[in-house]
Homo-oligomer: A and B are copies of this chain.
Amino acid sequence: MTQYLESKSGRITPEMAVVAESEYLEPEFIRAEVAAGRLVIPANKVHLSKRLIPIGIGIELRTKINANLGNSALSSDLNCELAKVQYAIHYGADTVMDLSTGSEIDILRRRIIDEVTVPVGTVPLYQVCESLEDITDMTSSDFLNAVEHQAEQGVDYMTIHAALLREHIRYVDDRLTGIVSRGGSLTAKWMVAHNRENPFYEHFDELCEIMRAYDVCWSIGDGLRPGCLHDASDAAQFAELEVMGKLAERARRLGCQVMIEGPGHIPFDQIEMNVRRQIEICRGTPFYVLGPVVCDIAPGYDHITSAIGATMAAFHGAAMLCYVTPKEHLGLPDMEDVRAGVIAYKIAAHAADVARHRPNARERDDEMAKARFNFNWDEQFRLSLDPDKASEYYNKSREQVELNCNKSDGGTEKYCTMCGPKFCAMRTTHDLQRLQELETGKDK
């Protein structure tokens, strides 16, 4: 029984109860959302038997973020990738995807699943492609075997590009950047080389059988996501989206949980429309977007260009945000890039949660405001998304302050390290309040 099938039979699973508690919502509400296909709990039974702590992903829940990790043929070793995975989780990644395309894929995946408490996703096509001379050598059983193998290992959700049909490929001609999804481009190449339909589409029901057996959640990949602003919201993207909507229904009829992946590169004014369209066509199936980046001219800063788009997407209903790091378009992320990407996305997710009035979302901001007004620096660090960074910056400023100023005025405790005592607005507000109290005292 999958979480979906359990929910349809009216049962609240222990995993649904865990999700309800962490979201400050009623268990029955969680069950109903799972049954409606609007909420998934990616929890492979194998991973559940290890250390997985279930989370929910859905339009009514707090926005989740995913960190992509994994080596490539070009860089990074196993321990280094594992350290990055732990670092991403330390800073708040709700799920991780192992997108390794290099050597030792299998060992790395097993170790990640054994060690982490968050859901783990993969793109099984990468392992298939890695094992072959060329993707066009792939047979259907190669792929089905890889999916079964990874399901057995405990992968919680899998991205499979089943909705990119042969007839969609012609739409790519009008694009500036063609196909930018790795899985999508490999799938398209296979179809063209063999003059046949998408094998994942053709074997969709068999794939569902495997996914159902372990309760692996589908993440239907958007092979035709736009790779630049010019290509956004085009015929290719929306043709694939129509098929995604149909496959989501079919997967649920076959007992599976489903997410839908989304773009990509989208101008800011098209994000609301994109999310609404996905929600309508896929009937609320959780939408898992990559960014989107809102401009193409800032390589080195795409954690920012995409956090802007991600906030807008989550505000309008995207359920999970796949982070983008500063190295996007340029190379694989190192530890600091992972941290920068995760924090940028925690910001996007939290800003959207506050804007959508999720239960208790703003409490931490209010606590921070109080700590600021009271010059309580330790409390400010504690409440920060990245306490290390906040205290590092503060201490650097404070050193300078202590070098430059007369400490007899009370040290740095009662004014902020930006402005100094004479220009600290909060200190002046405290003065003002004292003055007002004196006035009130006089009146009495």
Question: Which A positions have Cβ atoms within 8 angstroms of B?
Answer: 72-75, 101-102, 126, 129-130, 135, 169, 172, 176-182, 184-186, 188-189, 192-193, 195, 227-231, 267-270, 294-301, 303-305, 307-308, 311-312, 315, 326-332, 343-344, 346-348, 350-352, 354-357, 362, 364-366, 368-370, 372-373, 380, 383-386, 389-390, 392-394, 396-398, 400-401, 404-405, 416-426, 428-433, 435-436, 439
Q: Report whether B308 and A230 are in contact in the complex, using a CB–CB cutoff of 8 Å.
A: no
Residues in chain B near residue A344, CB distance under 8 A: 301, 304
Bound complex: CA A94 to CA B269 (Å): 24
CB within 8 A of A355: which of B195, B294, B392?
B294
Q: Report whether B418 and A368 are in contact in the complex, using a CB–CB cutoff of 8 Å.
A: no
CB within 8 A of A180: which of B179, B231, B425?
B425
Residues in chain B near residue A423, CB distance under 8 A: 72-73, 101, 126, 129, 182, 186
| Secondary structure type dominating chain A contacts | helix
Q: Report whether A417 and B331 are in contact in the complex, using a CB–CB cutoff of 8 Å.
A: yes
Given contacts A181-B425, A268-B315, contact A418 B365 (CB under 8 A): no
Among A192, A343, A365, A373, the most chain B Cβ lie within 10 Å of the Cβ of A365
Bound complex: CA A353 to CA B433 (Å): 43
Residues in chain B near residue A394, CB distance under 8 A: 299, 330-331
A-B contacts besides A74-B420, A101-B419, A182-B424, 7 pairs, CB < 8 Å: A129-B423, A192-B436, A227-B372, A230-B362, A268-B311, A297-B385, A299-B394
Among A308, A332, A396, the most chain B Cβ lie within 10 Å of the Cβ of A308
Given contacts A350-B295, A419-B182, contact A365 B230 (CB under 8 A): yes
Bound complex: CA A317 to CA B332 (Å): 37
Q: Report whether A366 and B268 are in contact in the complex, using a CB–CB cutoff of 8 Å.
A: no
Say how far A270's CB is from chain B's closest CB, in angstroms.
8
Q: Report whether A300 and B384 are in contact in the complex, using a CB–CB cutoff of 8 Å.
A: yes
Bound complex: CA A187 to CA B404 (Å): 27
Bound complex: CA A129 to CA B425 (Å): 13
CB within 8 A of A192: which of B129, B230, B303, B439?
B439
Say how far A79's CB is from chain B's closest CB, in angstroms.
16
Closest to A366 in B: B230
Residues in chain B near residue A303, CB distance under 8 A: 304
Say how far A145's CB is from chain B's closest CB, in angstroms.
20
CB within 8 A of A351: which of B188, B268, B386?
B268
Q: Report whether A185 and B432 are in contact in the complex, using a CB–CB cutoff of 8 Å.
A: yes
Residues in chain B near residue A229, CB distance under 8 A: 354, 362, 365-366, 369
Closest to A134 in B: B422
Given contacts A179-B429, A394-B331, contact A364 B297 (CB under 8 A): yes
Bound complex: CA A101 to CA B393 (Å): 21
Q: Report whether B419 and A343 are in contact in the complex, using a CB–CB cutoff of 8 Å.
A: no
Bound complex: CA A21 to CA B368 (Å): 46
Residues in chain B near residue A433, CB distance under 8 A: 178
10 A-B pairs closest in CB distance: A331-B397, A178-B429, A228-B369, A300-B389, A185-B428, A269-B355, A268-B355, A296-B365, A176-B369, A294-B351
Q: Report whether B428 and A383 are in contact in the complex, using a CB–CB cutoff of 8 Å.
A: no
Residues in chain B near residue A331, CB distance under 8 A: 393-394, 396-398, 400, 417-418
List 7 A-B pairs, Cβ < 8 Å: A176-B373, A177-B426, A185-B429, A192-B435, A298-B347, A300-B390, A308-B311
Residues in chain B near residue A299, CB distance under 8 A: 380, 384, 389-390, 393-394
Residues in chain B near residue A228, CB distance under 8 A: 365-366, 368-369, 372
Residues in chain B near residue A401, CB distance under 8 A: 74-75
Q: Report whether B397 and A347 are in contact in the complex, using a CB–CB cutoff of 8 Å.
A: no
Q: Report whether A72 and B298 are in contact in the complex, using a CB–CB cutoff of 8 Å.
A: no
Residues in chain B near residue A355, CB distance under 8 A: 267-270, 294
